[in-house]
């Protein structure tokens, strides 16, 4: 029967899918949002911080109603080497005023809220349903298949995350991403009192901190650690290249335990209780793993499209997911106005993405993944930096040495070649 | 008669509740009464410290035990007991729930511990919550205060030299709208798992019924017994129900518990919590059993169990 | 054609409950909710009976307004209608209150032949609400049922009860209440169409005011403490050396000899 057809079916109620569903439903379309989890967000994880700009475009002043943890006031980057660490610590209180720069948040609540917004706007949300395949008619995507059931739609939006089955089924991407294209993330949420969180990170009120770690925590493998302060807990985790983990036979859970026990972290989480543990993949290969973004009757958004930027000092995925979900919704609205859901018409999506920060930023940092694949970034440089600065601060009655001399000594010690240093320095400055 | 009332399906649980009842009654300065199904039992209960026995007349053919509910309720309305303790067999639970509803009073089901608050003359009762993840303490604001108590929570009352009491015959149970058409008594072939020093527990991770042999072999070299999780007994029916451990099954306290393909959900863990050492074998490194275990072995049980058997044999030189 | 009521409860998922080891307070802020495990069997049984014999199935729950998501979940499992007895006051009810509220919401308001409850709820596991509800409604009940047959034309059910001392098959005149064990059936996993269909099914909202009664608790909870367990939580792999380490430790601890 005809009534069983939706204008759009969105697969996955993560930030990308819920944003698209929200916008389409608000525009009056009949929208179905399908989520395999028992509720939106139950299985979703991320590090812990979302940059606000993208969502603010879709839901202005969203912070007045969204379940958020803390507005980030303090950014820290820490290099680790054994007992040494070097931290760059930057506080900017303007970040904690509207339009807040970024927020820490917990996905279970946030995703449920955003999906709830879509539902409120009139989208139909079906949880506990896994989409298994696409309905193809005349070579065009015409709906979805879940178990025994088929459901037709003018257009399907794949928002099903890093392993996107839907993009594969649509033939937009060959197979699941290869190990070198993804990072494995593991995270624990550690409960502390709100006062302890604020005190330990020097935060006033409900301000938050975001801290990234490079060095020992990944045993020199490509990746890093992250720490975000929530209201009354800390999100702590690691992201390590899946390929390197495999090669070195390390288990991410063991690495995380070691990281927690290290003298740099242990005091920060002392007395805390682990209330949540999760693991998830992160697309890491940037534009290198971007599938075809659209075809007849289908669009690919968020992680499914590989829209994640991991620069070591910045991890961004949520804002890309939201902005790409919004761009997809706009493309669908145009297509609907013309009643044309062909590849050509839906190509508008790519245009919208190019006009927005999504493809612009990914393009700008195109080379970053390769740069970050350089081993030295994760072992030798942290060693060098911590060694140098610790040397500067060390007074031990030894011969005085100028800064340059100290630096030269440390470079020698870290075993980095001059050519490499110059090359990496130049590349780094250009790419990041 | 007011005071503390005891009701259980059979002799042992009645005597267990009696010992608790006598204790509370003494503190309250009231008497203890028990229901009995035969005059022989009535005598014994009196010998063991009961002040009054209410003798329930035999049921007509086809009447289930629960047909006594109206009789019990009637007696309670007439005599106003302070406390009614009921043995938490399945029938006991139904009787208790219905009697409490009829008497408009509170019932603490599955009460695992109780004491008397002397000042308020109130029972302070403990029970498990959330599958055993928490212990809830409750008091009953209405009268009588009722609780169902699992078997073996208390020691049995012992005969007290020359104790006297009265036996009172109760009216017959009214006809019941529920008729028993068939009874199949349990053929009790299973071992008493609660006595075992070592328990090897089979979970649903064991893929086929035949593969329980793996667990049996491990139990064999350790001189232990095989137990299981609830679904293995109830859904799959691979092992008798007397062997499943957990909040609704048996509670065990062995020296060594080894869970083989057991997820370790809280309802299960509640039954093995008091084991001296817990070992968990599971291929999912995030399985909850590892939170509850002293030694967790992450991997395929089909690989691990034979290795374990081999190592144990080597170590014990068998 | 039996008119069936299935009672279900919306409970915290106990697997999500964490505890603070020092204070032994439960940490409940990140728990998910679900339909109580055995109530899925209750709903499934009701729906299977309807599929076989016709009639109707209404799902009923007593909860706070926040439990609204339970309706879609329950309705996607087959009942054609839900009765949502909800009020902000219906938080942490004791079983006697729940039974009394259910009785007030059902008696004279919903026509029924059979009420099906779970053996016990996953959170309280009091195993009371079923039989207590039967008593309040003045109807017979059979508890711990693992096989249920509706006898067409005779207005009765035959139920097999699984009890400590064996099996007991009883014949029960309707209207009656049954509480079911999990081995009675395997609850279906709702399909997409069933989930979508659920959103269109009718829901009767019943508030405390509609019931024109008050419901006082009989039991008062004076404390809830997490059951903590000190365990070493050492982890090993399947490597033979690791297994040997475990065996050595167990021997040292004196638990194998
Ligand atoms: C360890 C880690 C740390 C991160 N840190 C940050 C950070 O600090 N800041 C940041 O901005 N980003 C971070 N990210 C990236 C961010 O999490 C993702 O970019 C973002 O979640 C992408 O959103 P999405 O909606 O595209 O996909 P997801 O959030 O993955 O949502 C996909 C949804 O689709 C559902 N689904 C999948 N398959 C199916 C199917 N077949 N049928 C139905 N439903 C399906 C899933 O259940 C899920 O709900 C991090 C990621 C990881 C792994
Ligand atoms: C009110 C209530 C009361 C309950 N009472 C009890 C009770 O008293 N006792 C009880 O046991 N349960 C009880 N349960 C059920 C309980 O919640 C769990 O569902 C049950 O204990 C799970 O049993 P399981 O671990 O055997 O099965 P599953 O949960 O299916 O777990 C199987 C495990 O085996 C692992 N596995 C699979 N294959 C392998 C392999 N090849 N090698 C290694 N590992 C493998 C899996 O990773 C998984 O963790 C109760 C539930 C409720 C709601
Ligand atoms: N709040 C509720 N709403 C509807 N049914 C309930 C509720 N609480 C309990 N029940 C039913 O009563 C059964 C036993 O619950 P309990 O007495 O809490 O163990 C459950 O399996 C449900 O079928």
Place of tokens 């078997």: B151
The Cα C248–Cα C231 span in angstroms is 18
Q: Check whether A40 has a pLDDT greater than 50.
A: yes
Q: Helices in A250-393 by DSSP H: which ranges? A: 252-261, 266-269, 318-337, 343-346, 348-355, 357-364, 368-372, 380-393
Point out the least confidently predicted range of A13-22, A121-130, A379-388, B126-135.
Answer: A379-388
The Cα B98–Cα B122 span in angstroms is 22
How much is the pLDDT for A2?
47
C166 belongs to a structural domain = yes
Domain interval for residue C195: 3-211
Place of tokens 């279906």: C188
Q: Check whether A251 has a pLDDT greater than 90.
A: no
What is the token pair recorded at C123? Answer: 């959170």
The Cα C191–Cα B84 span in angstroms is 48
pLDDT digits (tens, 9 = 90+) for B117-131: 999 999 999 999 999
Give yes or no: residues C85 and C119 share one domain.
Answer: yes
How much is the pLDDT for A429?
67
Under a CB-based contact definition with an 8 Å cutoff, are residues A61 and A160 in contact? Answer: no
A317 vs chain C: nearest CA distance in angstroms?
23
Rg (CA), chain C: 22
Q: Counting atoms of ligand 1 from 1, which one is nearest the CA of A37?
A: 47
Q: Check whether C18 has a pLDDT greater than 90.
A: no
Residue A89 sits at the chain B interface (C-beta within 8 Å)? no
pLDDT digits (tens, 9 = 90+) for C76-106: 999 999 999 999 999 999 999 999 999 999 9
C47 belongs to a structural domain = yes
Please tell me what DSSP assigns to residue B177.
S
CATH number at residue C107: 3.40.50.620
- Number of C-alpha atoms within 13 angstroms, CB side, residue A73? 16
Burial classification of residue A422, based on how many CB atoms lie within 10 Å of its CB (0-12 exposed, 13-18 middle, 19 or more buried): exposed
Under a CB-based contact definition with an 8 Å cutoff, are residues B226 and B215 in contact? Answer: yes
Give yes or no: residues C17 and C135 share one domain.
Answer: yes
Name the range with the highest mean pLDDT among A373-377, A395-399, B313-317, C167-171.
Answer: C167-171
Average pLDDT over residues B36-63: 96
Task: Read off the pLDDT band of A253 (50, 70, 90).
Answer: confident
Is the torsion defined by CA of C19, C22, C25, C29 positive or negative? negative
For ligand 3, atom 1, name the residue with the nearest CA.
C62
Q: Which residues of C touch A (CB under 8 A)?
A: 18-21, 27, 30, 32, 34, 69, 73, 189-193, 195-196, 199
Under a CB-based contact definition with an 8 Å cutoff, are residues B83 and B123 in contact? Answer: yes
Express as a percent the part of chain B with pLDDT over 90: 93
For ligand 2, atom 18, name the residue with the nearest CA.
B265
Mean of pLDDT over chain A: 90
pLDDT digits (tens, 9 = 90+) for A264-284: 999 999 998 888 888 898 888
A49 lines ligand 1 (CB under 6 A): yes
The count of CB pairs under 8 A between chains B and C is 266
Average pLDDT over residues C67-77: 96
Give yes or no: residues C177 and C234 share one domain.
Answer: no
The Cα B157–Cα A268 span in angstroms is 55
What is the token pair recorded at A117? Answer: 């917004």
Domain ranges, ordered by start, for chain B:
4-169, 193-316
B288 vs chain A: nearest CA distance in angstroms?
12
Q: Counting atoms of ligand 1 from 1, which one is nearest the CA of A301?
A: 26
The Cα B191–Cα B242 span in angstroms is 8
What is the token pair recorded at B177? Answer: 């709208």
Domain B4-169 has CATH 3.90.1150.10: no
C132 belongs to a structural domain = yes
Average pLDDT over residues C41-70: 97
List all chains that touch chain B, counting a touch as 3 or more CB pairs closer than 8 Å.
A, C
Give yes or no: residues C132 and C42 share one domain.
Answer: yes
The DSSP code sequence of B190-221 is S--GGG-SEEEEE-TTS-SGGGHHHHHHHHHH
Residues of chain B found within 8 Å of residue A251, distances taken between Cβ atoms: 285
A163 vs chain B: nearest CA distance in angstroms?
21
What is the token pair recorded at C55? Answer: 């009639």
The Cα C227–Cα C214 span in angstroms is 34
How much is the pLDDT for C125?
97
Under a CB-based contact definition with an 8 Å cutoff, are residues B12 and B90 in contact? Answer: no
Give yes or no: residues C182 and C234 share one domain.
Answer: no
Express as a percent the part of chain C with pLDDT over 70: 100
Burial classification of residue A61, based on how many CB atoms lie within 10 Å of its CB (0-12 exposed, 13-18 middle, 19 or more buried): exposed
Point out the least confidently predicted range of A391-395, B132-136, C56-60.
Answer: A391-395
C33 belongs to a structural domain = yes
Q: Check whether C162 has a pLDDT greater than 60.
A: yes
The Cα C127–Cα C132 span in angstroms is 9
The Cα A267–Cα A374 span in angstroms is 31
| Cα dihedral: C44, C50, C56, C59 (round 10) | 0
Closest residue on chain B to A278 (Cα): B286
What is the token pair recorded at C97? Answer: 């209150």
- Could you give all domains of chain A from N- to C-terminal order, each with its CATH number? 6-67+107-173+291-355 (3.50.50.60), 372-431 (no CATH)
How much is the pLDDT for A417?
74
Residues of chain A found within 8 Å of residue C21, distances taken between Cβ atoms: 273
Backbone angles phi, psi at A160, to 5 degrees: -100, 25
Q: Helices in chain B by DSSP H: which ranges? A: 11-28, 39-47, 69-79, 90-102, 212-222, 230-234, 266-269, 289-292, 301-316
What length does chain B have?
318
B268 vs chain A: nearest CA distance in angstroms?
21
How much is the pLDDT for B5?
98
Task: Read off the pLDDT band of A372 (50, 70, 90).
Answer: low
Under a CB-based contact definition with an 8 Å cutoff, are residues A21 and A29 in contact? Answer: no
Query: How many Å separate Cα C190 from the centre of its chain?
Result: 17
The pTM for the full model equals 0.90
- Higher-confidence residue of A403 and A116: namely A116
Give yes or no: residues C68 and C133 share one domain.
Answer: yes
Q: Check whether B42 has a pLDDT greater than 90.
A: yes
The Cα C141–Cα B252 span in angstroms is 32
Please report, in range form, the residues annotated as the binding site of B for FAD: 204, 229-230, 261-268, 282
| Pick from A119, A125, A114: nearest CA to A9 | A125
C220 belongs to a structural domain = no
Q: Assign residue A373 a region (left: φ > 0; alpha: ψ between -120 and 50; beta: otherwise).
A: alpha
Domain B4-169 and domain B193-316, same fold? Reply is yes
Give yes or no: residues C239 and C162 share one domain.
Answer: no
The Cα B224–Cα B242 span in angstroms is 16
What is the token pair recorded at B259? Answer: 């869970």
Task: Read off the pLDDT band of A1 (50, 70, 90).
Answer: very low
The Cα B290–Cα B287 span in angstroms is 6
pLDDT digits (tens, 9 = 90+) for B238-290: 999 899 999 999 999 999 999 999 999 999 999 999 999 999 999 998 899 99
C219 belongs to a structural domain = no
The count of domains in chain C is: 2
| Pick from B247, B252, B257, B253: nearest CA to B293 | B257
Task: Read off the pLDDT band of A428 (50, 70, 90).
Answer: low
Contact C199 A124 (CB under 8 A): yes
Q: Check whether A311 has a pLDDT greater than 80.
A: no
What CATH number was assigned to the domain covering residues B193-316?
A: 3.40.50.1220
The pocket around ligand 2, CB under 6 angstroms, is made up of B 131, 203-205, 229-232, 244-249, 261-263, 265, 267-268, 271, 281-284, 287, 300-302; C 37-38, 120, 122, 125
How much is the pLDDT for A343?
96
C221 belongs to a structural domain = no
When scoring C250, C251, C252, C253 by the number of chain B Cβ atoms within 10 A, the one with the most, hence best to mutate, is C250
How much is the pLDDT for A284?
81
pLDDT digits (tens, 9 = 90+) for C178-205: 999 999 999 999 999 999 999 999 999 9
The Cα A309–Cα A286 span in angstroms is 6
Contact C18 A124 (CB under 8 A): no
B71 vs chain C: nearest CA distance in angstroms?
14
C120 lines ligand 3 (CB under 6 A): yes
- Cα of C248 vs centre of ligand 3, distance in Å, is 48
- Higher-confidence residue of C46 and C228: namely C46
Give yes or no: residues C171 and C67 share one domain.
Answer: yes
Contact C191 A106 (CB under 8 A): no
Give yes or no: residues C180 and C256 share one domain.
Answer: no
How much is the pLDDT for C176?
98
Backbone angles phi, psi at B194, to 5 degrees: -70, -15
How much is the pLDDT for A21?
98
For ligand 1, atom 18, name the residue with the nearest CA.
A317
Q: What is the ipTM of this complex?
A: 0.88
CA-based max dimension of chain B: 69
Three-state SS at A202: coil
C159 belongs to a structural domain = yes
Average pLDDT over residues A72-83: 93
pLDDT digits (tens, 9 = 90+) for B203-247: 999 999 999 999 999 999 999 999 999 999 999 999 998 999 999
Q: Give the number of whichever ligand sits closest to the CA of residue B266.
A: 2
Point out the least confidently predicted range of A113-127, A209-223, C128-142.
Answer: A209-223
Q: Helices in B159-272 by DSSP H: which ranges? A: 212-222, 230-234, 266-269
What is the token pair recorded at B158? Answer: 């012992």
Residues of chain A found within 8 Å of residue C27, distances taken between Cβ atoms: 191, 273, 275
List all chains that touch chain A, counting a touch as 3 or more CB pairs closer than 8 Å.
B, C
């Amino acid at each position: 029967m005809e009534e069983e057809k939706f204008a759009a079916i969105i697969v996955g109620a993560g930030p990308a899918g819920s944003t698209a569903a929200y916008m389409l439903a608000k525009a009056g379309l009949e929208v179905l949002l399908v989520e395999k989890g028992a509720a939106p967000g139950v299985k979703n994880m991320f590090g812990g911080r979302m940059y606000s700009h993208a969502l603010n475009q879709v839901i202005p002043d969203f912070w007045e109603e969204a379940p958020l943890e803390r507005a980030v006031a303090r950014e820290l980057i820490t290099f680790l080497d054994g007992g040494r660490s070097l931290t760059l610590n930057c506080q900017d209180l303007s970040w904690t005023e509207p339009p807040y720069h970024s927020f820490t948040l917990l996905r279970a609540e946030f995703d449920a809220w955003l999906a709830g917004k879509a539902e409120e706007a009139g989208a139909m949300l079906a949880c506990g349903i896994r989409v298994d395949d696409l309905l193809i008619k005349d070579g065009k995507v015409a709906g979805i298949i879940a178990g025994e059931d088929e459901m037709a739609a003018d257009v399907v939006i794949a928002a099903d995350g890093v392993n996107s089955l839907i993009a594969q089924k649509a033939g937009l991407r060959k197979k699941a991403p290869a190990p070198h294209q993804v990072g494995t993330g593991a995270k624990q949420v550690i409960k502390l009192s709100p006062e302890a969180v604020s005190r330990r990170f020097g935060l006033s009120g409900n301000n938050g901190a975001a801290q990234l770690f490079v060095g020992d925590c990944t045993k020199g493998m490509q990746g890093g650690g992250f720490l975000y302060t929530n209201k009354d807990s800390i999100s702590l985790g690691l992201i390590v290249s899946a390929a390197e983990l495999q090669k070195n036979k390390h288990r991410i859970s063991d690495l995380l335990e070691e990281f927690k026990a290290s003298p740099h972290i242990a005091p920060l989480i002392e007395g805390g209780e682990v209330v949540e543990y999760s693991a998830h993949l992160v697309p890491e290969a940037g534009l290198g793993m971007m599938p075809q973004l659209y075809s007849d009757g289908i669009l690919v958004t968020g992680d499914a499209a590989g829209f994640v930027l991991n620069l070591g000092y910045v991890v961004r995925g949520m804002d890309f997911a939201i902005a790409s979900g919004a761009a997809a919704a706009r493309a669908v609205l145009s297509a609907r106005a013309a009643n044309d859901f062909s590849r050509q018409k839906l190509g508008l999506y790519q245009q919208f993405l190019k006009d927005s920060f999504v493809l612009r930023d990914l393009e700008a940092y195109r080379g970053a993944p390769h740069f970050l694949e350089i081993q030295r970034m994760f072992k030798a440089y942290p060693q060098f930096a911590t060694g140098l600065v610790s040397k500067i601060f060390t007074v031990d009655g030894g011969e005085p040495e100028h800064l340059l001399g100290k630096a030269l000594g440390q470079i020698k010690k870290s075993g980095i070649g001059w050519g490499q240093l110059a090359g990496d320095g130049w590349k780094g400055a250009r790419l990041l | 008669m007011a005071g503390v009332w005891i009701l259980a399906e059979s002799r042992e649980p009645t005597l267990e509740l009696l010992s608790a009842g006598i204790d509370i009654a003494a503190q309250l300065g009231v008497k203890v009464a028990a229901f009995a199904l035969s005059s022989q039992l009535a005598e014994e209960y009196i010998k063991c410290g009961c002040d009054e026995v209410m003798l329930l007349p035999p049921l007509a053919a086809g009447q289930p035990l629960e047909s006594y509910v109206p009789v019990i309720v009637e007696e309670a309305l007439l005599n106003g007991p302070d406390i009614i303790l009921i043995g938490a067999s399945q029938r006991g639970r139904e009787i208790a729930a219905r009697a409490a509803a009829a008497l408009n009073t509170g019932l603490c089901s599955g009460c695992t511990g109780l004491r008397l608050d002397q000042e308020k003359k109130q029972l302070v009762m403990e029970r498990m919550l959330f599958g055993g993840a928490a212990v809830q303490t409750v008091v009953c604001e209405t009268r009588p205060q009722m609780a169902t108590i699992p078997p073996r929570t208390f020691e049995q009352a012992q005969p007290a030299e020359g104790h006297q009491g009265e036996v009172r015959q109760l009216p017959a149970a009214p006809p019941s709208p529920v008729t028993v058409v068939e009874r199949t008594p349990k053929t009790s072939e299973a071992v008493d798992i609660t006595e075992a020093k070592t328990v090897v527990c089979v979970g649903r991770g064991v893929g086929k019924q035949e593969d329980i042999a793996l667990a049996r072999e491990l139990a064999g070299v350790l001189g232990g017994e095989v137990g299981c999780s609830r679904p293995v007994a109830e859904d799959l029916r691979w092992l008798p129900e007397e062997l499943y451990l957990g909040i609704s099954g048996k509670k065990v306290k062995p020296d060594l518990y080894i869970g083989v393909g057991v997820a370790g959900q809280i309802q299960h863990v509640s039954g093995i919590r008091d084991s001296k050492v817990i070992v968990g074998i599971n291929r999912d490194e995030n399985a909850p059993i590892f939170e509850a275990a002293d030694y967790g072995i992450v991997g395929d049980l089909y690989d691990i169990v034979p290795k374990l058997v081999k190592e144990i044999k080597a170590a014990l030189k068998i | 054609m039996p008119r069936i009521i299935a009672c279900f409860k919306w409970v915290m998922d106990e697997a999500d409950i964490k505890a603070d080891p020092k204070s032994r307070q439960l940490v409940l802020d990140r728990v998910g909710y679900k339909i109580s495990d055995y109530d899925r069997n209750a709903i499934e049984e009701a729906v299977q009976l309807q599929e076989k014999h016709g009639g109707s199935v209404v799902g009923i729950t007593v909860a706070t307004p926040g439990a609204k998501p339970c309706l879609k979940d329950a309705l996607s499992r087959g009942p054609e209608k839900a009765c949502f007895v909800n009020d902000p006051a219906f938080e942490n009810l004791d079983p006697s209150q729940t039974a009394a509220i259910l009785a007030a919401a059902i008696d004279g308001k919903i026509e029924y032949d059979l009420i099906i409850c779970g053996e016990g709820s996953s959170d309280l596991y009091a195993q009371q609400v079923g039989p207590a509800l039967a008593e309040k409604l003045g109807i017979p009940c059979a508890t711990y049922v693992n096989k249920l047959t509706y006898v067409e034309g005779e207005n009765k059910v035959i139920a097999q009860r699984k009890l400590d001392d064996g099996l007991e098959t009883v014949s029960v005149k309707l209207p009656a209440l049954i509480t079911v064990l999990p081995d009675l059936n395997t609850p279906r996993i709702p399909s997409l169409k069933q989930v979508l269909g659920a959103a269109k099914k009718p829901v009767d909202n019943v508030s405390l005011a509609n019931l024109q009664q008050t419901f006082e608790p009989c039991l008062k909870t004076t404390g809830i403490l997490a059951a903590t367990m000190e365990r070493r939580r050492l982890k090993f792999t399947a490597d033979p050396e690791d297994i040997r380490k475990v065996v050595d430790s167990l021997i040292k601890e004196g638990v194998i000899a």
